[in-house]
Amino acid sequence: MEMSTPAAANKKEATLYVRTALLYPSKKVLESRDPELLELLQKHSAQPKKHTAIFKEHMKKHWHFNTTLMDADWYNDMKKENFDVGFNPFETMKHFPYDEVSTKPQNPERLFDHLSPFFADAAKSIKQLEGRLMVEAVLGDYADVAEQIQFGLYSDHSGGSTGGARPKEFPTVYDRIHLSNVPFVAISLVSFFFLNADHPLVII
């Protein structure tokens, strides 16, 4: 796999990522969680191609890969020769809105250093919304769930202290709705009809 790495990013880190799927973690995290890896990076990161095996061995012993979730039906129906979950994290450098980020990275040495100030600022902003921000995870087809919420019929079926009933303080009218990971095949037209309903307080 070839990777086009922006000049601002660490090319040696990109080479190590291609060969081992490892990005340089935060130094603070490594000092407290994996000082052995920090030592390996200090000794061998200058020649990532030569020392690939050393990093792979360490990763196998001490790290676990993130589980990738996917639609089993979609996977079973697709042509396997086209299957690819490849992702180049360094591509984010090309699209990162530096002009809009209030906190700029100070002497960045790794991809983490370039991007972490943005997420730190985002975390601070969310904290300022404490008491106003509500997150509700809902599983199901949007059209079905939205209709149940509208008429007070939705239940999460968890049992719990409320017997699965949706708490009364939860909203039923929204200013904005964001749909994540809507599939591009076999999606119900009902979802689009419901989303495009004329409602002054809903922004899609």
Q: What is the pLDDT of residues 49-61, one digit of tens each?
A: 999 999 999 999 9
pLDDT at 23 over 70: yes
From the CB of residue 40, how many other CB atoms can be counted at a distance below 10 Å? 18
pLDDT at 47 over 80: yes
pLDDT given at position 55: 95
Average pLDDT score over residue span 171-200: 55
pLDDT at 164 over 70: no
State residue 137 phi and psi, 5-degree precision: -90, 125
pLDDT at 185 over 90: no
pLDDT tier at 108, thresholds 50, 70, 90: confident
Q: Is pLDDT larger for residue 96 or for residue 9?
A: 96
CB 24 within 8 A of CB 110: yes
Please give the Cα distance from 149 to 166 (Å, whole number). 8
Q: Is pLDDT larger for residue 75 or for residue 168?
A: 168
Average pLDDT score over residue span 162-186: 67
Provide the mean pLDDT of the chain.
75
Q: What is the pTM of this model?
A: 0.59
Smallest Cα–Cα separation from 115: which of 3, 5, 1, 25?
25
Letter string b/e over residues 152-178, b meaning 16 or more CB atoms within 10 A of that residue's CB: eebebeeeeeeeeebeeeeeeeeeeee
